[in-house]
Structure 1
Amino acid sequence: MENNRHFLLMAQYNQRMNHQVYEAASRLTDAELRQNLGAFFGSVIGTLNHLMVGDLIWLRRFAKHSAHYQTLNQLGALPVPTGLDDLIFNQLPPLEQTRKRLDQLILDWLESDVRSEDLHRTLVYQNTRGIAFERDFGELLSHLFNHQTHHRGQVSTLLSQLGQDVGVTDFLLDIPDVSDS
């Protein structure tokens, strides 16, 4: 399996799942969106914000990769979170609009900028507390998608507790059938 193809599939899965999650969340009342149900980030709106915060933080780190990814210059027009629990948007419509834009940016970046050889380079970055790290870029990219899956699972549970079904969540739906190849 080619690494770039795998990450593109993950980005497509991410985009599909975010669409399904936001569709389910749009059926909630404002009070339900904000209801603290005991998740790491409390509510549906809190967890959806955290997902975006994580993506924005990591993508800004990735923008400093030695490959100088031009597509990530578009991050300048997006919010700059200062903490992992930032509530960037307190209403669902602007959060969803920005989420769609961010998901497309991730796809465009992976399609046009990221090369297989980039995945084996080291990325030097600082965490939110200013501690420096040097880690394999491909593994950090895996972390980006794993983080999304983890917290989307939490949102799916919160939505279920509020009577909303997000539909089929399996990555399997995004893996191409190769039986005709």
Structure 2
Amino acid sequence: MPNPDDVLSLARYNAWQNREMTAALEALPDAALRVDRGAFFGSILATINHLLWADMVWMSRFAHWPAPGGGLEASTELAPTLAAWGAERFRADARLVLWAEGLRTVDLRGMLRWYSGATGRDQVKPLGQCVLHMFNHQAHHRGQVHGMVTAAGGVGWTSDLAFMPDEGRWP
């Protein structure tokens, strides 16, 4: 299971990747963000909305953030524009890093219990595994977005954890 330093590194990586992705998305015309590109959630905007929505849902379980409204079906409609999404994403990433900075080993132990709308039943999983899942889910959907950006003629971004700028902030 992860330790607090691992989670902090992943939170910082997530914030860096979202900044890089946002810059790539801002270079595309709005129409390119809304075209159904055959990904699981269709468009780039729908996919990044789902990603932010899912992060907020997981953080509502981990750190008692307010859960976003609507279920999985509404997850693609969280923010109507890239600018609105970007502001929410920036705030969420800052809060996520602050949460990770305050973690202790004991905070990542034990079981997480929640009702899953996706499965329609109660779930019980190791908390540390759920935290790792959140970060894996982020990387998965950012990878989809990267593919959609390049398919739309945009420029992708470096996504390798090993190349994250150090900024003097590795744990």
TM-score of the alignment, normalized to the shorter chain, above 0.5: yes
Shift of the 144–128 alpha-carbon distance from structure 1 to 2, 3 Å rule, reads same
Shift of the 22–81 alpha-carbon distance from structure 1 to 2, 3 Å rule, reads farther
SS of 1:157's partner is helix
Larger Rg: 1
User: Runs of 5+ in structure 2 lacking a partner?
Assistant: 167-171
SS of 2:156's partner is coil
Report the equivalent of 1:37. 37
Letter in 2 for 1:127: S
Shift of the 85–154 alpha-carbon distance from structure 1 to 2, 3 Å rule, reads farther
Tell me the distance in 2 between the aligned counterparts of 1:166 and 1:4: 30
Report the equivalent of 2:169. none
Moved runs in structure 1, 4+ residues, more than 4 A? none
TM-score by length of 2: 0.88
Report the equivalent of 1:145. 135
Work out whether 1:163 is the aligned partner of 2:150.
Answer: no
Tell me the distance in 1 between the aligned counterparts of 2:165 and 2:129: 20
User: Runs of 5+ in structure 1 lacking a partner?
Assistant: 64-71, 177-181
Pairwise CA distance, 1:62:
1.5
Percent sequence identity is 33
Contact 1:56 1:80 in 2 (8 A): no
Work out whether 1:19 is the aligned partner of 2:19.
Answer: yes
1:76-95 equivalences under 5 Å are: 76=66, 79-86=68-75, 87-95=77-85
SS of 1:37's partner is coil
Contact 2:108 2:127 in 1 (8 A): yes
Pairwise CA distance, 1:167:
2.0
Tell me the distance in 2 between the aligned counterparts of 1:125 and 1:83: 15
TM-score by length of 1: 0.84
Tell me the distance in 2 between the aligned counterparts of 1:21 and 1:81: 25
